[in-house]
Structure 1
Amino acid sequence: MPHVPLVSPGPPLTAAQRQRYARQVSLEQVGDLGQRRLAAARVLMIGAGGLGSPVLTALAAAGVGTIGIVDSDSVEVSNLHRQTIYSMADLARPKAEAAADVLRAHNPLIEVVAHQTRLTAANVLALIADYDIVVDGTDNFATRHLAHDAAALLHKPYVWGSVLRFDGLVTTFWVDGPAGGTRLEDLFPSTPGADEAETCAMAGVLGSVCAGVGAMMATETLKLIVGFGDPLFGRLLVLDGLDSSWREVPYAAAGSAPAASAAPAADHEPAAAAPPRDTSHSQVHTHPIPVPPSPGTPAPDEITSAELAGLLAERRAGSADFVLVDIREPWERDIVAIDGSALVPMAQLLTDEASTVMEPADRVILYCHHGTRSEYARGVLRDNGWTDVTHLAGGIDDWVRRIEPAKPRY
């Protein structure tokens, strides 16, 4: 549905602009006025990597008048399979400068500003203040929170995307958006620890997934500038590259209920939308309306390794009944696992496959590496009908140190 354009239109289009953007101007939702808005817009791209590459090329091609690029890294050969804005000739060059040169060569009608710098608390406000929209393609939560909080403070929309392996997420946060606005913490209430947050360097990523997610981020940006379509306010778009699906997960500002999804209802969420592949994903609740727990004695929030050892002994003796669920990735389980546990990776918690291991009526104990992912998973399950679910404090790392020291740690 139409919404208020973010940017006022600039001067009348030149003959060169009309010729270059003819097929875009011919769209009823863009038109002459929309193209003038694009020409007047100023967009800051934070991160010129796997997501920044498709976003930057799409925005430049669309005629966004001023594009700023923030990145402190240099081009490496391992970047090239997904960071398609670069070539072999750019190896060892600063990314912001190399990307800016590519955009200028592609579209001489726009201005590109290279900010070859690391985003810090000292410079973030000054950098963002000069732009209309912030687009974030970074791969760590420290930078994401820094960029988001500065954008919120300055009342700028913040378009966010994330990719890992075959999965991707896209949404738009804006404190001035509908229904009181949304913030990063509405979707991810707390930040995963550094040891829990995977990156593409650790887990890998399919380059074409970056292209798909980046294209949606660019589309979100263009929609905001011109005022067409329905931006992803309160909606997380989830790409599962393995089953070729896009799905939508509603979320809302803290204290308010998520809006009903406009997408067809799904009985489970794709592997991608689950918790963090960059551990961020693990905080996503996959059903629009949480199921209230049944009355009764609430399960403890966490148990210790010693308590779990006792429960496992009771289960072997037939005096205890529960399901111990390892929510880590298969490669982690190959290193070390707790005997008697079942593997349900975080990404599959609410899938039909997971229901064959654990049902809402079961007593469930979760564990991960250090306890961060399992703590989030506990909340996800409790919000979706599980009434007796807890997690192992300290994860398998604490278990090995205290209970089975002969097993490997990682």
Structure 2
Amino acid sequence: MPHVPLVSPGPPLTADQRQRYARQLALEQIGDLGQRRLAAARVLMVGAGGLGSPVLTALAAAGVGTIGIVDSDSVEVSNLHRQTIYTMADLTQPKAEAAAAALRARNPLIQVVAHQTRLTAANVLSLVDDYDIVVDGTDNFATRHLAHDAAAQLHKPYVWGSVLRFDGLVTTFWVDGPHGGTRLEDLFPSTPGADEAETCAVAGVLGSVCAGIGAMMASETLKLIVGFGEPLFGRLLVHDGLDASWREVSYRAAHTPASAPDAAQQPVDTSHSQVHTHPAPVATAAAPLTPDEVTSAELAGLLADRQAGSADFVLVDIREPWEREIVAIDGSALVPMAQLLTDQARTVMEPDDRVILYCHHGTRSEYARGVLRDNGWSNVTHLAGGIDDWVRHIEPAKPRY
């Protein structure tokens, strides 16, 4: 059903725009006015990876006037099977800049802004405030939390997708949406268990599933901008690539406005669906936008201080044993993430210890930090960027994987 367009129309279309978007202009739901709304729209894509690639190319092709890309990584050969916006010529290049260059080459009629940076508490609000919609394709729990909470605080729609193995999810959260609006915690009301914190790097992913979910995320974004169709407010699409099925899971706001107390409904129960394979951190209105991590340079200094006897902490490698055989940070102890809360783990790190966690790229350790804090550890941080960042900046002679 039609809904209020998010973006006001821009100036009249040029001859080049009319020629390029002719087949889209022919759609009654878009037409001249809708295309002008697209040209005036500003969309922030967080993550230029497996989901970001199809989202970005679709939005650029559709004529979204300004696209911002936030990503701090560089292109690696293992990205290419699913991150189709890149080519072999982009290897080692910053992702945000390489993706921006690719979009400019595809459509010179739009503006593309590369934000080659990590989304942090210090920059998230200023970044989000400059755009109309946030689209999140990251697999990093803390980044999702930051992006969602900033979008909610600034009353921006937040289009979210996730992929793992052969499964995919997509929905749209918006505090100003219908029925009291929706937030991330309405769908994921509790912190997932450690066995649910897998990422594509660990569990794997089929690249074509990324393309399918990314296409749906792009469609959601275009619908919001122009005001056609029915956005996924309170509806989660679940895709199973193995049996080629799509199904819908309904959910509602956990807390409805005081003016409608009788409409309150419980959060959706995801315990018997594929939703649990794509967990997200619990977000609340009062959740602080504050990271808690150390950089590779800071960790190197701390290790030197510990060697000199002026620092006391436990450095814990939460990767799998096969990963540690490839490369490890000297002076660390191995506690695979699935064993974090076992009695054996407590022989390595007591709840009163100062603990620094690390993994491959920082995603698992960021999540594990929250798990430990929820279970009695009071002084836990993690290595931003994981051992991959450590090797690149501190011990470049060691292997990367």
Structure 2 spans left out of the alignment, 5+ residues? 256-263, 282-319, 321-336, 348-401
Letter in 1 for 2:116: Q
Letter in 2 for 1:257: Q
The answer on whether the counterparts of 1:247 and 1:270 sit within 8 Å (CA) in structure 2 is no
Matches of 1:401 and 1:150, distance apart in 2: 36
Alignment-derived partner of residue 291 in structure 1: none
Pair 1:274 & 2:275 matched: yes
Q: What does residue range 135-214 of structure 1 map to in structure 2 within 5 Å?
A: 135-192=135-192, 196-214=196-214
Matches of 2:150 and 2:144, distance apart in 1: 10
State the Cα deviation string for residues 33-52 of structure 1 (Å, max 9, x = none): 00000000000000000000
State the Cα deviation string for residues 295-331 of structure 1 (Å, max 9, x = none): xxxxxxxxxxxxxxxxxxxxxxxxxxxxxxxxxxxxx
Matches of 1:24 and 1:399, distance apart in 2: 60
Alignment-derived partner of residue 300 in structure 1: none
Letter in 1 for 2:238: V
SS in 1 for 2:179: helix
SS in 2 for 1:274: helix
Matches of 1:94 and 1:204, distance apart in 2: 23
Matches of 2:103 and 2:63, distance apart in 1: 11
Change over 3 Å in CA distance of 1:91–1:270 after alignment to 2: farther
Offset at residue 191 of structure 1 (A):
3.3
Change over 3 Å in CA distance of 1:123–1:401 after alignment to 2: closer
Matches of 1:398 and 1:216, distance apart in 2: 44
Offset at residue 227 of structure 1 (A):
0.1
Q: Which TM-score applies when normalising by structure 1?
A: 0.66
Aligned residues: 286
Alignment-derived partner of residue 247 in structure 1: 247
Alignment-derived partner of residue 225 in structure 2: 225
Matches of 1:200 and 1:191, distance apart in 2: 19
Tell me the percent identity. 81
Matches of 1:272 and 1:165, distance apart in 2: 15
Letter in 1 for 2:92: A
SS in 2 for 1:82: coil
Point out the structure with max Rg over C-alpha.
1
Letter in 1 for 2:51: L
Q: Structure 1 residues 246-255 or 109-118, which shifts more? A: 246-255
Change over 3 Å in CA distance of 1:269–1:126 after alignment to 2: closer
SS in 2 for 1:239: strand
The answer on whether the counterparts of 1:6 and 1:225 sit within 8 Å (CA) in structure 2 is yes
Alignment-derived partner of residue 23 in structure 1: 23
State the Cα deviation string for residues 369-393 of structure 1 (Å, max 9, x = none): 569xxxxxxxxxxxxxxxxxxxxxx
Matches of 2:55 and 2:77, distance apart in 1: 20
State the Cα deviation string for residues 174-197 of structure 1 (Å, max 9, x = none): 000001100001111233366741
Alignment-derived partner of residue 265 in structure 2: 257
Matches of 1:144 and 1:191, distance apart in 2: 13
Alignment-derived partner of residue 288 in structure 1: none
SS in 1 for 2:276: coil
For the aligned residue pairs, the C-alpha RMSD in angstroms reads 2.7
Pair 1:125 & 2:125 matched: yes
Pair 1:73 & 2:81 matched: no
Q: Which TM-score applies when normalising by structure 2?
A: 0.67
